[in-house]
Structure 1
Amino acid sequence: MPLPLRPRLLAGALLFLTPLAHPAQAQTPSQPELKQVARFDHQVTGVTVSKDGRIFVNFPRWTEDTEVSVAELKDGKLTPFPDTEWNAWRNAKKDQVSANSHWVCVQSVVADPKGDLWVLDPAAPAMGAVVQGGPKLVEIDLKTNKPGRIIAFDEQVAPQGSYLNDVRFSPDGKTAYLTDSGAMGALVVVDLDSGRAKRVLDGDPSTQPDKSVTVNYDGKPLRRPDGRGVEFAADGLALSKDGETLYWQAIKGRTLYSIPTSDLTGWMTSAVVPSALGDQGLSRKVEAVGENGPADGLIISRGTGRMYVTSPQDNAIKVRDLGAKGSELKTLIQDERLRWPDTFGEGPDGTIYVTTSHIQDSAFYKPDAPAALPTELWSFKPAP
């Protein structure tokens, strides 16, 4: 039976849907208007919008054991999704609640081309140890709001030290592509029909943090109290509109990489998942597309075909015309309110949504910061 919704949960998750005025940040004529859609009392990362306009967000358990990990933004409030029972996992209850059938530490929510919602759970609270049986990709039928397929990942796909980060789906709905931004970066390819998954480019330079890059914020290197900097590996992920090219990059990196998806999916026709995909040969298929600088979220718009890039160091959203000669990166929006722009989602009308996760303000980097970190959801409408 679903657990009763605690009154203080909704009281602490009230959202402001009216765009807030901010006179200090006047928009330039060429800059799309940035609108605040919602403000949260907890640290948000992922956002997605379904084909019928429903908005979903997720809250990873990084610096707090938050009561809700996945929610629908509905009627101005956060409604636990698909219900309170799936959100019932807590550190204190980890021996009483199944990690396979509850959200442990959700990092990403993505609506697929068919209109269903997929939830990616790396099951590594505080980006620490992976909870046994927790890493999974879960499909939810948005017609019934009921979970369907649960694709569990074993230690071959999600070993200790991993942190599955983002996911994209092929246009035919048969393949999922994931990034792993953990201690050993990699990509993961999932055959959705069979549920089989394969970890690829594990340890390849294209999926690793770039040692020559230092992520800065507020004019200085962003470091933890013990001196560690930002070390996230392969993170942002995007798929071309035709599904033929996959793009990714590390946050602690500057280079955007790509590979033909046909080079990642050949093993699916085999009855047995190979123990290796010949990563040395696969590495030679990887191409450097261009330099983004340190970046977090990526998305290729269904409407414009452009790639949008979040640039945390610059409080900015940038755009890359992939079909243009030289694939030049340009700043689209720069606004001090975009404090660590994180993840993109696209609405059916072409509106782009982006979360600001305030990572630089979190207890990881500021020990006196509150465990419950206020964050926001923004939107803008790109020009045609």
Structure 2
Amino acid sequence: MMKFGRKFAGISLILMAAFFAGAGFASELEVVAQLPVAPGNITVTPSNRIILTLHPFYSPKLKVVELAKDGSLIPFPDADWNRHDPKTTFAWDTVLGIQCDKRGIVWVLDSGSEEGSIPKLVAWDTVRDRMYKVIHLTPPAIVLPTVLPDSVFVNDLAVDRTHDAIYISHSAGAEESAIVVVDLETARVRRVLRAHPSVKPEKVQLRINGRSLDYTLPDSGRFNLLVGVNPIALDSKDEWLYFGPMNGKSMYRIRTADLLNSQFADQQLGQKVERFSDKPICDGLSIDNAGNIYISDLQSSTLSVISPNREFKQLVTDPRISWLESFSYGPDGFLYFVSSQLHLSAPLNEGKNQAKPPFYVLRTKPLAPGVIGR
């Protein structure tokens, strides 16, 4: 998800040392692109194409774009898909989650809208440049989008081509937060772990620069910002799904084999969930081949890591990391991520948009290789 108006000239890069398995590691931050509009999520294809969603909180004219080599933004997959029309399947509405699989298929999660657009998963084959699949996400498997105080929407996704499944964080408050499991072969959609403690927001307030964040709607006033399950990621073997509430201090995990077992009732499935570690209030996750979990630390402009032995370390801190929203490994070995200044957008800043370009696509050398696209 919720994926500075500051002048950065003269501010030097702050490097934080991470210490894993008895070896020192210092990570440097590189600017890939400076953007005039705020990114939402990012994925990098096996052919090194960078695809971005643009964050809905800024009401962008384009919804999904490709970052061209010259730094320009090209409508993805084309201009027609970026012409808003809630009455058609073949156009973007409210888009945030995106992930490319190992076959070069980009999976885009469109959460729909209150105008009647139904949430959907759209898969675009970047190798053959054609639509691969569309799966509509309909009730009762999901709850259709609503506004606060009971805000509900499909948020982020993790693509599991080992089992041909996708896992979606169904963000909401205490009673409707859940994980959505999509079978890519049958298009069956199931909502599981509804209102389980692992998906519900904790009473932990997000504070950035000393200010508590609320959600503001033009005609409805301000509401306490407490977001349930949001960050979600698979390990490199597709054996474990890691997740947690954005507003929460706990990271959880569950075996994909258990999630895929439709015979489990929610109470039985809930017993399979493990609390893995502590975590900060965060938005994005990525996991490398060694089991390190890269995590956004929203309150400190930091990319942090939870090691396989569950130790928390700060990897790199920099003022340009202003609401780290999403990660993706690229084929060049870098870990890419975006900075959206989301806390300065109008919905999270008392109705006033004080975010200022440039917004950033950044990258760093990770501790270990990872799965391209994630």
Shorter-chain TM range is 0.7 to 0.9
Cα offset, 1:195, TM superposition: 1.0
Checking the alignment, whether the CA contact within 8 Å between 1:63 and 1:371 is kept in structure 2 is no
Which residue does 2:325 correspond to in 1? Answer: 342
Q: C-alpha offsets along residues 86-141 of structure 1, whole Å, 9 cap, x if unaligned?
A: 0001xxx54xx51x2211011111001222111111113xxxx3x43431111111
User: Given the superposition, is the C-alpha separation of residues 28 and 292 from structure 1 closer, same or farther in structure 2, using an over 3 Å criterion?
Assistant: closer
Please state if 1:69 is matched with 2:67.
no
Please state if 1:172 is matched with 2:162.
yes
Which residue does 1:289 correspond to in 2? Answer: 276
User: Given the superposition, is the C-alpha separation of residues 23 and 357 from structure 1 closer, same or farther in structure 2, using an over 3 Å criterion?
Assistant: closer
| Cα distance in 2, alignment partners of residues 69 and 83 from structure 1 | 11
Cα offset, 1:306, TM superposition: 1.5
Taking structure 1 as the reference length, what is the TM-score of the superposition? 0.83
- Answer 1 or 2: higher relative contact order, Cα 8 Å, separation at least 6: 2
Alignment of 1:131-150 (within 5 A): 131-150=115-134
Cα offset, 1:283, TM superposition: 0.9
Cα offset, 1:34, TM superposition: 0.8
Checking the alignment, whether the CA contact within 8 Å between 2:253 and 2:275 is kept in structure 1 is yes
Which residue does 1:278 correspond to in 2? Answer: 265
User: Given the superposition, is the C-alpha separation of residues 44 and 179 from structure 1 closer, same or farther in structure 2, using an over 3 Å criterion?
Assistant: same
Instruction: Say which structure is richer in strand.
Output: 2
- Which residue identity does 2:97 align to in structure 1? S
| Cα distance in 1, alignment partners of residues 239 and 231 from structure 2 | 17
- Which residue identity does 1:197 align to in structure 2? V
- Which residue identity does 2:199 align to in structure 1? T
Cα offset, 1:23, TM superposition: 4.1
Cα offset, 1:336, TM superposition: 1.8
Please state if 1:45 is matched with 2:40.
yes
| Cα distance in 1, alignment partners of residues 48 and 190 from structure 2 | 32
Checking the alignment, whether the CA contact within 8 Å between 2:344 and 2:354 is kept in structure 1 is no
Checking the alignment, whether the CA contact within 8 Å between 2:253 and 2:274 is kept in structure 1 is yes
| Cα distance in 2, alignment partners of residues 26 and 314 from structure 1 | 12
| Cα distance in 2, alignment partners of residues 377 and 182 from structure 1 | 28
DSSP 3-state at the match of 2:39: coil
Cα offset, 1:152, TM superposition: 0.5
Alignment of 1:230-249 (within 5 A): 230-249=225-244
DSSP 3-state at the match of 1:178: strand
Which residue does 2:261 correspond to in 1? Answer: 266
Which residue does 1:24 correspond to in 2? Answer: 12
| Cα distance in 1, alignment partners of residues 319 and 358 from structure 2 | 16
| Cα distance in 2, alignment partners of residues 156 and 228 from structure 1 | 26
Give the unaligned 5+ runs of structure 2: 1-7, 18-24, 147-151, 369-374
Checking the alignment, whether the CA contact within 8 Å between 2:95 and 2:108 is kept in structure 1 is yes
**Percent identical across equivalent pairs?**
29
Which residue does 1:15 correspond to in 2? Answer: none
Checking the alignment, whether the CA contact within 8 Å between 1:118 and 1:138 is kept in structure 2 is yes
| Cα distance in 2, alignment partners of residues 365 and 138 from structure 1 | 28
| Cα distance in 1, alignment partners of residues 142 and 81 from structure 2 | 21
Checking the alignment, whether the CA contact within 8 Å between 1:294 and 1:312 is kept in structure 2 is yes
DSSP 3-state at the match of 1:313: coil
Which residue does 2:372 correspond to in 1? Answer: none
User: Given the superposition, is the C-alpha separation of residues 284 and 173 from structure 1 closer, same or farther in structure 2, using an over 3 Å criterion?
Assistant: closer
Alignment of 1:1-384 (within 5 A): 23-27=11-15, 30-64=25-59, 66-75=60-69, 76-89=71-84, 94=86, 97-98=87-88, 100-124=89-113, 129=114, 131-160=115-144, 161=146, 162-172=152-162, 174-183=164-173, 184-211=176-203, 213-224=204-215, 226-267=221-262, 277-302=264-289, 304-322=290-308, 324=309, 327-366=310-349, 367-369=351-353, 375-384=359-368
Q: C-alpha offsets along residues 274-326 of structure 1, whole Å, 9 cap, x if unaligned?
A: 8xx51111111111101102111011124x4311000101111111122x2xx
DSSP 3-state at the match of 2:224: coil
Q: Which region of structure 1 is more displaced relative to structure 2, 33-42 or 290-299?
A: 33-42
What count of residue pairs does the alignment treat as equivalent? 340
| Cα distance in 1, alignment partners of residues 142 and 213 from structure 2 | 27
DSSP 3-state at the match of 1:45: strand
Which residue does 2:371 correspond to in 1? Answer: none
Q: C-alpha offsets along residues 9-36 of structure 1, whole Å, 9 cap, x if unaligned?
A: xxxxxxxxxxx97543243564311112
Q: C-alpha offsets along residues 212-235 of structure 1, whole Å, 9 cap, x if unaligned?
A: x11111023223465533222100
| Cα distance in 2, alignment partners of residues 59 and 360 from structure 1 | 15
Which residue does 1:270 correspond to in 2? Answer: none
